[in-house]
Structure 1
Amino acid sequence: MAAEKFGITIEKNPPESTLTQLGVRNWPKWDLIPPSKFPWTFSTKESCYFLEGKVKVYPDGSDEAVEIEAGDLVVFPKGLSCTWDVSVSVDKHYFRSE
């Protein structure tokens, strides 16, 4: 079951059938993101499946974070400006769409 916060949708540990249906394993892989903190703006809608890692995403103007970790399927809305606070190196598949 997916949850939504600040326009970010997170499905924790989706079934393999969902990943297969979306073609997640065929999506490009993002190079490892080491522990760091940086600003980011999504120029397109982006879906990600986190293979490894742990990150807190702080939408601009908010002190509250969305926590994402390995096994999460996440959809970030187009236009979202945020700060990523990566505590455990992230490895992910991603897919961008308008």
Structure 2
Amino acid sequence: MPKKKVVDSDEEEELDEEELHQVQSGRATKVSARPRRAAAAAVQKLTQKLIDGDDEDEDGEEELVEIPKAALTKYKTDINAEPNTVHVIKKDDINPAMLKALLVDEWPTWASKTGGWPDLNVPYEYEHRLRELSLVLEGSATVTIPGGKAVEIHTGDFAVFPKKLVCTWVITEPLKKKYYEFSR
């Protein structure tokens, strides 16, 4: 099985796919033997690999949802977030026409158990490499942004994460969300 490098500021460790899966599912025994930061880095790399490599159809072509530019322009105010903030539209304030125009039903779904992200029992620091739109289908999470401000997201909320935002996730109820990442 090919080895994946997990790089930590204090150490470098090689994990194979099964060990990465164990870390992701929270069953790894090695986690207690090394800094949890390295485990989180391994999970982030595996998660990104899954995000980057799982959107292929039978012909090997990527099936990506493309939100119409007109929808992005029309709902620009709703889908923008200032740097180092999370913009949340609460369930009762969401415009259903916006969700339809943004093709939310076609976005991929992501899920995690309670704890860190994904499925670790420690808070998980994540850097959004692209701008992300999310609609929480089930559950809730606390997202802490730079400066220590905690933002709660719950079932039905629509959240916007700006590109390059580094935030810490704690899943407080099993979470399922639709998400869309883009650079515009």
TM over 0.5: yes
- Which category describes the TM-score, using the shorter chain as reference length? 0.7 to 0.9
1:24 to 104, 109, 134: 104
Q: Note the residue ranges of structure 2 that are not aligned, 5 or more in a row.
A: 1-77, 117-123
Runs (4+) of structure 1 exceeding 3 A deviation are none
User: 1:87, 1:7 → 2: CA distance?
Assistant: 20
Corresponding residue for residue 64 of structure 2: none
Q: Note the residue ranges of structure 1 that are not aligned, 5 or more in a row.
A: none
Of the two structures, which has the highest relative contact order with CA contacts closer than 8 Å and spacing of 6 or more?
1
Deviations 1:21-62 (A, max 9, x none): 1110111111x21111211110000000000111110113x3
TM-score w.r.t. length of structure 2? 0.48
**Aligned residue pairs: how many?**
95
Q: How far has the Cα of 1:18 moved from its partner? A: 1.8
Q: How far has the Cα of 1:74 moved from its partner? A: 0.7
Q: Normalized per residue, which structure has more strand? A: 1
2:85–2:145 Cα contact (<8 Å) kept: no
Corresponding residue for residue 145 of structure 2: 59
TM-score w.r.t. length of structure 1? 0.87
1:69 pairs with 2:154: yes
Q: How far has the Cα of 1:7 moved from its partner? A: 2.3
Q: Normalized per residue, which structure has more helix? A: 2
1:12 pairs with 2:86: no
Q: How far has the Cα of 1:15 moved from its partner? A: 3.1
Structure 1 vs Structure 2 CA RMSD: 1.8
Which structure would you say has the larger Rg? Answer: 2
